Amino acid sequence: MLLTLRIIHIFAAAFWVGSVFFNYFLLRPALLLIPAAHAVVVAQRVGTILLYTGWSALGLLFLSGALRLHYSGQLSLLFTLDLYTSGLGRSLALMILSWLVNVINVAIITFVLRPKLIKKLPVSSNPRYADVEKRRGDQIAASEQLERLNLINVIASAVALIAGGSVIYGGLF
């Protein structure tokens, strides 16, 4: 059972880190090279797919990690300082912290920024120029916040990957 959970955890981590790096280093620069109208459509389609698969990967990381700790008898150690006195425990804490940062950022992206970015003015509303400019300003601000959160996700994912890889060597420090 531990081996199966380890494989699930590794594949979920690989998928999450891969999608974060794809989004930041490949998709984002590519969207800047195509016309804005096309970029919006591509970003919405790919963003929706990454949204569902990203939440799935984060959920699998949580479940497989918690079950691995449970089956190895170390789950209760998470709530004591004893675990964090070893290199292995500190690496585990770093992975958990990175996962938490990613979950918080993805929640902000999903429930705050994404609705602002895909919000359209109602057709029947006959918007004023001020309404259009306000919406445009909100979308630019949301886009800038999205860029920062995506960069934080890249850094946190890389830290979690390094901490997870160091576990077989007894931890980071």
Q: What is the pLDDT of residue 37?
A: 77
pLDDT tops 90 at residue 124: no
> 15-39: buried (b, 16+ CB within 10 Å) or exposed (e) per residue?
bbbebbbebbeebeeeeeeeeeeee
Asked if residue 120 has pLDDT above 80, the reply is no
- Rounded (10°) angle between helices 87-108 and 129-166: 160
Q: Is the pLDDT of residue 159 over 90?
A: yes
Mean pLDDT of the region 140-150: 90
Burial of 152 (0-12, 13-18, 19+ CB in 10 A): middle
- Please state the domain extents for the chain: 2-169
Q: Above 90 in pLDDT, residue 11?
A: yes
pTM of the full structure: 0.87
14-48 tens-digit pLDDT: 999 999 999 999 998 998 898 877 888 888 888 88
- Taking the CA atoms of residue 119, residue 123, residue 129 and residue 135 in that order, the dihedral angle to the nearest 10 degrees is 0
Residue listed under structure tokens 């459509």: 41
User: Measured between alpha carbons, how far apart are the two ends of the chain, in Å?
Assistant: 29
